[in-house]
């Protein structure tokens, strides 16, 4: 165990010990060693967090949008000031390379807070004259919202959920994934330092049970989850009992389609980013790479050569490209998929197993792996693996590839590489996916709506669209004449 002290719950602007008296360990995935102990919230803690959030929200919603916005923008500034330490913490807890975390995690969280800080004063309703008078609409906060995070982008997810919720005048109780519970607490500290009233952002760590308690709670108006499809369904079922609204950001098995006229170097770079960034643990990843038959050999040659150069290692070394999988269990699951891929007849072009990293013998490292010789029915082509495993497929016509790309229960994202502008837009139109990139992959600026179709989710994060999921619209009719009662 490192010398980092126990992490308590964050309720009403301060650290509090859990009523459960229970703690769990969070591990460093590069070494398997415990980083520190983390409090586990039970029902009494969740109840306390809800009461605190109700009190905080009453203060917060009475403030003007501009005042709320200033707190969010100040928090973004603090995030940037503490970027190095936060990025190291994220790399330590989640195994993400330090080459990524300052920008993709801390920077993206700060971008989001700045964006919604700027938007907070702009929420407005509509006016319309109607027979007998007029009506206006009021976008109102929902009340206490719950955010439940996955472990792959811990601080980013905490910001993507809390920034629009808070900008709109809600309070949020956030439950980070049990595997990466540390950075949301730092965000809470910075919110407080920036002037956020107590109770407006509470953090309750714990397991799935803590998530269930939050989802079922009668004092909670809304749940926003990032997680697996199965968890999304469980959350939606639980939320149905009290008709809470839900935003669900779930899994995917997204296609990247590379046509014969594509810029090959860009397409190869995108395929690598879409499979190996964050060790492949990204929901929107392009895990099915469809390459036109006529350029298959050239594409593979470049892809293999560049993938072989990737450096696995200590996530805290700035030269590392890939760190470890988030946990030993998750690594075992990814390795099992690789074995299934081999058994079902796939051929491994690169990688294909656990990686040994000198000095990190207990780390959860998996080699970046490229499979060829696949067909659409194989398990690894159908199921989300959430690791550095790229499935290569080829195609001969646009019609054929679109049919195959859409033949999945998921619908999170997709990409197309072509120099033909009409084809690019045509394919974007036909892809059954919530996000499509043309000649790019996995860029998610905060200005752009983010969210999936089909079993990949419900609702959008980021952009002004996020406000629709954190407000309720009240309609107010105002009479300009008398009441004409016939009795």
36 noted as active-site residue:
no
Helices and strands (H and E) in the chain: how many: 15, 22
Count, residues near ligand NDP per rule CB under 6 A: 30
Largest CA-CA distance found in the chain, in angstroms, rounded:
89
Q: Which of 90, 93, 178, 394 binds ligand NDP (CB under 6 A)?
A: 178
Q: Which of 101, 156, 202, 215 binds ligand NDP (CB under 6 A)?
A: 215
Residue 334 is a binding residue for ligand NDP (CB under 6 A): no
Q: Which of 52, 57, 152, 462 binds ligand NDP (CB under 6 A)?
A: 152
Q: Least Å distance between CB 331 and ligand NDP? A: 13
Residue with token string 């006529």: 294
Are the beta carbons of 50 and 217 closer than 8 angstroms?
yes
Dist. CA 237–CA 231, nearest whole Å: 10
How are strands ordered across the β-sheet holding 127-130? 127-130, 133-141, 471-479
Dist. CA 486–CA 464, nearest whole Å: 45
Residues 382-421 that bind ligand NDP (CB under 6 A): 384, 386, 412
461 noted as active-site residue:
yes
Are the beta carbons of 318 and 99 closer than 8 angstroms?
yes
Q: Least Å distance between CB 385 and ligand NDP? A: 10
What ranges in 65-149 are assigned the alpha helix state H? 65-81, 83-94, 108-119
Residue 55 is a binding residue for ligand NDP (CB under 6 A): no
Strands (E), 97-251: 127-130, 133-141, 144-148, 171-175, 201-203, 222-226, 245-249
Q: Which of 47, 140, 189, 228 binds ligand NDP (CB under 6 A)?
A: 228
Residue 224 is a binding residue for ligand NDP (CB under 6 A): no
- Residue 325, SS3? coil
Q: Pick the catalytic residue: 40, 90, 114, 249?
A: 249
Tally the C-alpha atoms within 13 A of residue 275's C-alpha that lie toward its C-beta.
Answer: 28
Tally the C-alpha atoms within 13 A of residue 47's C-alpha that lie toward its C-beta.
Answer: 5
Q: Least Å distance between CB 38 and ligand NDP? A: 11
Q: Which of 34, 59, 121, 234 binds ligand NDP (CB under 6 A)?
A: 234
Residue 211 is a binding residue for ligand NDP (CB under 6 A): yes
Residue 249 is a binding residue for ligand NDP (CB under 6 A): yes
Q: Pick the catalytic residue: 283, 384, 398, 460?
A: 283
CB atoms within 10 A of CB 448: 13
Q: Which helix (H) or strand (E) holds 392?
A: strand 389-395
Among 62-70, 228-236, 392-400, 435-443, the segment contacting ligand NDP (CB under 6 A): 228-236
Among 12-20, 125-133, 170-178, 303-311, the segment contacting ligand NDP (CB under 6 A): 170-178
Q: Which helix (H) or strand (E) holds 39?
A: strand 34-39
283 noted as active-site residue:
yes
Q: Which of 91, 202, 226, 471 binds ligand NDP (CB under 6 A)?
A: 226
Q: Which residues bind ligand NDP (CB under 6 A)?
A: 148-152, 175, 177-178, 207-208, 211-212, 215, 225-228, 231, 234-235, 249-252, 283, 384, 386, 412, 452, 457
- Which residues are known catalytic residues? 161, 249, 283, 461
């Amino acid at each position: 165990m490192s010398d980092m002290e126990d992490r308590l719950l964050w309720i009403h602007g301060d650290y509090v010990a859990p009523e459960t008296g229970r703690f769990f360990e969070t591990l460093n995935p590069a070494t398997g060693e415990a980083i520190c102990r983390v409090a586990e919230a039970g029902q009494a803690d969740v109840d306390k967090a809800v009461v605190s959030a109700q009190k905080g929200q009453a203060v917060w919603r009475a403030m003007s949008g501009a005042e709320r916005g200033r707190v969010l923008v100040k928090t973004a500034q603090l995030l940037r000031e503490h970027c190095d330490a936060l990025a190291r913490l994220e790399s330590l807890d989640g195994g993400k390379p330090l080459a990524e975390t300052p920008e993709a995690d801390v920077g993206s969280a700060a971008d989001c807070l700045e964006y919604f800080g700027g938007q907070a004063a702009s929420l407005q309703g509509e006016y319309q004259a109607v027979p007998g008078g007029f009506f206006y609409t009021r976008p109102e906060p929902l009340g206490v919202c719950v955010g439940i995070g996955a472990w792959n982008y811990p601080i980013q997810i905490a910001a993507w959920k809390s920034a629009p919720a808070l900008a709109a005048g809600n309070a949020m109780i956030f439950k980070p994934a049990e595997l990466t519970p540390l950075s949301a607490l730092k965000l809470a500290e910075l919110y407080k330092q920036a002037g956020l009233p107590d109770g407006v952002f509470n953090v309750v760590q714990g397991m799935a049970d803590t998530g269930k308690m939050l989802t079922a709670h009668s004092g909670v108006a809304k749940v926003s989850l990032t997680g697996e499809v199965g968890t999304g369904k469980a959350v939606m079922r639980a939320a149905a009992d009290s008709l809470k609204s839900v935003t669900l950001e779930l899994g995917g098995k997204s296609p990247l389609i590379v046509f014969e006229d594509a810029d090959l170097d860009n397409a190869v770079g995108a395929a690598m980013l879409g499979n190996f960034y964050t060790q492949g643990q990204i929901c929107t990843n392009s895990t099915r790479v469809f390459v036109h038959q006529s350029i298959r050999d050239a594409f593979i040659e470049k892809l293999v050569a560049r993938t072989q150069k990737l450096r696995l290692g200590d996530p805290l070394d700035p030269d590392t490209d890939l760190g470890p999988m988030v946990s030993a269990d998750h690594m075992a699951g990814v390795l099992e998929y690789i074995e299934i891929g081999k058994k079902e007849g796939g051929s491994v072009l690169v990688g294909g197993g656990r990686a040994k990293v000198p000095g990190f013998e207990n780390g959860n490292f998996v080699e970046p792996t490229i499979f060829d010789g696949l067909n659409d029915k194989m398990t690894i082509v159908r199921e989300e693996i959430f690791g550095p495993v790229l499935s290569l497929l080829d195609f001969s016509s646009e019609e054929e590839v679109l049919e195959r790309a859409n033949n999945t229960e998921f619908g999170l994202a997709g990409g197309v590489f072509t120099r033909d502008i009409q084809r690019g837009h045509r394919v974007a139109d036909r892809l059954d996916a919530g996000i499509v990139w043309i000649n790019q992959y996995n860029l998610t600026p905060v200005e752009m709506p983010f969210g999936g179709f089909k079993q990949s989710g419900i609702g959008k994060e980021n952009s002004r669209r996020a406000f629709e999921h954190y407000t309720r619209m009240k309609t107010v009719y105002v009479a300009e004449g008398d009441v004409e009662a016939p009795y």
